[in-house]
Structure 1
Amino acid sequence: MAERQRELTRTLLGAIFLGGLIVASLWILRPFVAAAIWATTIVVATWPVLLWFQARLWKRRWLAIAAMTAVLLLVFVVPLALAIGTVVLNADELLTWLKSMASFRMPTPPDWIARLPFIGSKLTLAWEQAAASGVEGLLSRAMPYAGRLTQWLASEAGNAGVLFMQFLLTLILTALMYASGEAAALVVLGFGRRLAGNRGENAVRLAGQAIRGVALGVVVTAVVQAALSGIGLGMAGIKFAGLLTAVVAFLCIAQIGPSPVLVPAVIWLYWSGETTWGTFLLVWSMVVVIMDNFLRPVLIKRGADLPLLLIFAGVVGGLLAFGLVGVFVGPVVLAVAYTLLRAWIDDDRLDP
């Protein structure tokens, strides 16, 4: 009896010590968790690309890592540089446009708006009120929100340095993981095997497939939609097309879509009397907006053979729960849970 009590005490103390050690380790590594998650996601999603570079760069891993780092810098820096460059090159025109807004007067609403079912009368009334109040009235209504927006921008500006350091840390961790990717994969597979046998190893492989599928489905679709949106905006003669293209890219990655940029652009063209270009951009925008319904499922299926509804719920739910990194964390968690649940149910069916 005494021996059993000593064994129970030893086991309990060992569990407490191990739990405390894990908590302390996570607390120490807390500043690096976000960067480590991003780096792991990038490495898993782009590992075939790294091997492609390595095969064509004399099988030198360090050359492939340098090439991948340059590509990642371009992917992250080019949209930001495009947006900043557009603002700088058109600073005088932007200032003139802002000054002209002070004397801007809204025209009367077109007759077809009043004929719209259900909402026509309300839209006409709102339009007439906005036209009567003018820019000054609209600004007075927006002033309470402008103060909140200014405070938010000030707080975000204070985080710009932290964001830049996180970006650099992510690049460094990504390069290190590229250098020892095979060894890290064996460690993770061994941990999964030790935890749950073959099912644990399969869960680890499934997590990698889910990350790759989401990267293909979400990121590639966002890049294609942003590029096509930029082409359409440029052909239609919309000002600051480069800046708007960068905005579309971020909106598509955040699963909002290009509509908040393309719809106002179409309305602006019709409002300015450019009916032909407005119709062109309207048709172009419809193609760009609905293409993700066809392109994203095909790309996700190439990366991971999982239900599309599961992936979509993981992307949206992860985004709301964890921010932008949740776009990848959410589908991985749901994919692993879904697979383990199916294996558990199948085991019950196989039992005599």
Structure 2
Amino acid sequence: MNLSQKEWDLTQIIFLLMFITLLILACFWVIQPFILGFAWASMVVIATWPLMLRIQHWLWGRRSLAVIVMTLLLLLLFIIPVALLVSGLIDNSAPVVAWVTSGHLQLPELEWLKSIPLAGDKLYSGYHSLVAGGGGALMAKVQPYIGRTTGFFMAQAGHFGRFMMHLGVMLLFSILLYWRGEQVGQGIRHFAFRLASRRGDAAVLLAAQAIRAVALGVVVTALVQGVLGGIGLAISGIPYATLLTVLMILCCLVQLGPLLVLIPAIIWLYWSGDTTWGTVLLVWSCVVGTLDNVLRPMLIRMGADLPMILILSGVIGGLIAFGMIGLFIGPVVLAVSYRLVSVWMHESPAPEDDPDEVVEELSDEQEQLDADH
């Protein structure tokens, strides 16, 4: 019997697809507890890989010494500060939540309005008329929702043990990836090449560049602005400086900037009569608020030569869609798609015909078709 022509068995194909699908789902089920830690480790290692290679070169080419140094750097510059930051957030948030939910939240009197020349008395009386006409009732209605919102964020921040577990898994995977980074990277490139030839390989390399660009340009800039702004708040004597620093870093990550926190702090200092430190914080806020205009473009260009609007859109959209890990997923997806579409477009030459001639030619063709019908 001639067996050269293999007959396709539909039932066999269906069962084969079911088996492969169940196998993939089982694999994801097994590694589910480690996915987040591995994702963070991948982002950190990809972003800091050039630094690790430079340290290895300084340490006589010894990979083991470079891995030890990078592990210590992760502990000292990332894991320990983040853990202390979250712990401080939980500790400092408790009095704020208790005050907000206690029922003593009232609108301020704003006595300083009287000191404004010419219009001070009118502003003061108008403000108190607004409060008497419904401001107190509005605050009474809003207060329960404020309490629920702060309680929700406290509950999310309260999973400190799970957060520390993810940090520990991230550190472990980071060590393994630093140690065998070339082999892992080559394996991923091999899979991508088998899947989509040279374009698959290019997509993987571009994804690495996009991750490095986001890590350098967005996250580092947010950390620098948040930490510098927090130092200014602490020196100026603003209460709950740690809590405000965390809030400032989050605002910088979502591209709102640090001034959303610094400006109310400046107003509070002037309101309380501490004009000296208010002026100091005002000058410091001008420096911190404009720092991203210089630092972020420079760092993004170091990671990948991608349009700024693409990176920022990916950061904001990814954060909304996927949470904190979306800071990296969003820009990577947009960057890879942008480059692949760009390569596909440039495979054919750009049109050189005059636009008016093209429109006129299309109009003539349309008229000819209408006449034929």
> TM > 0.5 between the two?
yes
* C-alpha deviation, 1:124, in angstroms: 7.6
* C-alpha deviation, 1:141, in angstroms: 4.9
* C-alpha deviation, 1:12, in angstroms: 4.9
> Residues 202, 129 of structure 1: CA spacing in aligned structure 2 closer, same or farther, 3 A cutoff?
same
* C-alpha deviation, 1:122, in angstroms: 9.2
Looking at structure 1, the residues matched to 105 and 15 of structure 2 have their Cα atoms a distance apart, in angstroms, of: 72
Which of 6, 9, 13 in structure 1 is aligned with 2:8? 6
Looking at structure 1, the residues matched to 129 and 59 of structure 2 have their Cα atoms a distance apart, in angstroms, of: 65
Alignment partner, residue 38 of structure 2: 36
Q: Show the 5 A alignment for 1:220-299.
A: 220-299=220-299
Q: Does 1:81 align with 2:106?
A: no
Alignment partner, residue 330 of structure 1: 330
Alignment partner, residue 168 of structure 2: 168
* C-alpha deviation, 1:335, in angstroms: 0.8
Q: Show the 5 A alignment for 1:87-102.
A: none
Name the aligned partner's letter for residue 32 of structure 1.
F
Looking at structure 2, the residues matched to 329 and 164 of structure 1 have their Cα atoms a distance apart, in angstroms, of: 22
Q: Show the 5 A alignment for 1:131-210.
A: 140-141=140-141, 143-145=143-145, 147-149=147-149, 151-152=151-152, 155-156=155-156, 159-210=159-210
Name the aligned partner's letter for residue 294 of structure 1.
V
* C-alpha deviation, 1:63, in angstroms: 2.6
Q: Tell me, yes or no, if the aligned pair for 2:106 and 2:139 is still in contact at 8 Å.
A: no
Gaps of 5+ in 2: 351-373
Alignment partner, residue 19 of structure 2: 17
Q: Does 1:55 align with 2:57?
A: yes
Looking at structure 1, the residues matched to 128 and 193 of structure 2 have their Cα atoms a distance apart, in angstroms, of: 64
> Residues 275, 150 of structure 1: CA spacing in aligned structure 2 closer, same or farther, 3 A cutoff?
closer
Two-structure CA RMSD over aligned residues (Å) = 4.0
Name the aligned partner's letter for residue 38 of structure 2.
A
> Residues 290, 131 of structure 1: CA spacing in aligned structure 2 closer, same or farther, 3 A cutoff?
farther
Alignment partner, residue 319 of structure 1: 319
> Residues 238, 113 of structure 1: CA spacing in aligned structure 2 closer, same or farther, 3 A cutoff?
farther
Looking at structure 2, the residues matched to 132 and 18 of structure 1 have their Cα atoms a distance apart, in angstroms, of: 67
Instruction: List per-residue Cα deviations over 1:100-146 (Å, max 9, x = no partner).
Output: x9999734252659979xxxx99985566559999x98985554125
* C-alpha deviation, 1:9, in angstroms: 5.4
Number of residues paired by the alignment?
A: 340
* C-alpha deviation, 1:288, in angstroms: 1.6
* C-alpha deviation, 1:340, in angstroms: 1.1
Could you tell which deviates more after superposition, 252-261 or 217-226?
252-261
Instruction: List per-residue Cα deviations over 1:200-231 (Å, max 9, x = no partner).
Output: 11111111000001111012212221232134
Aligned-residue sequence identity (percent) comes to: 43
* TM-score, structure 2 normalization: 0.76
Looking at structure 1, the residues matched to 345 and 33 of structure 2 have their Cα atoms a distance apart, in angstroms, of: 39
- DSSP 3-state at the match of 2:347: helix
* C-alpha deviation, 1:344, in angstroms: 1.6
Instruction: List per-residue Cα deviations over 1:270-307 (Å, max 9, x = no partner).
Output: 10122343233223213322321332122111110111
* C-alpha deviation, 1:36, in angstroms: 1.5
Alignment partner, residue 345 of structure 1: 345
Could you tell which deviates more after superposition, 276-285 or 33-42?
276-285
Alignment partner, residue 357 of structure 2: none
- DSSP 3-state at the match of 1:314: helix
Looking at structure 1, the residues matched to 111 and 39 of structure 2 have their Cα atoms a distance apart, in angstroms, of: 53
> Residues 131, 40 of structure 1: CA spacing in aligned structure 2 closer, same or farther, 3 A cutoff?
farther
Gaps of 5+ in 1: none
Q: Tell me, yes or no, if the aligned pair for 1:87 and 1:240 is still in contact at 8 Å.
A: no
* C-alpha deviation, 1:245, in angstroms: 3.3
Instruction: List per-residue Cα deviations over 1:3-24 (Å, max 9, x = no partner).
Output: 6643665555444433332233
* C-alpha deviation, 1:163, in angstroms: 2.0
Alignment partner, residue 65 of structure 1: 67
- DSSP 3-state at the match of 1:174: helix
Looking at structure 1, the residues matched to 68 and 137 of structure 2 have their Cα atoms a distance apart, in angstroms, of: 55
Looking at structure 1, the residues matched to 30 and 110 of structure 2 have their Cα atoms a distance apart, in angstroms, of: 61
Q: Which has the larger radius of gyration?
A: 2
> Residues 28, 86 of structure 1: CA spacing in aligned structure 2 closer, same or farther, 3 A cutoff?
closer
Name the aligned partner's letter for residue 209 of structure 1.
Q
* C-alpha deviation, 1:172, in angstroms: 1.1
Alignment partner, residue 108 of structure 1: 111
Name the aligned partner's letter for residue 185 of structure 2.
A
> Residues 245, 319 of structure 1: CA spacing in aligned structure 2 closer, same or farther, 3 A cutoff?
same
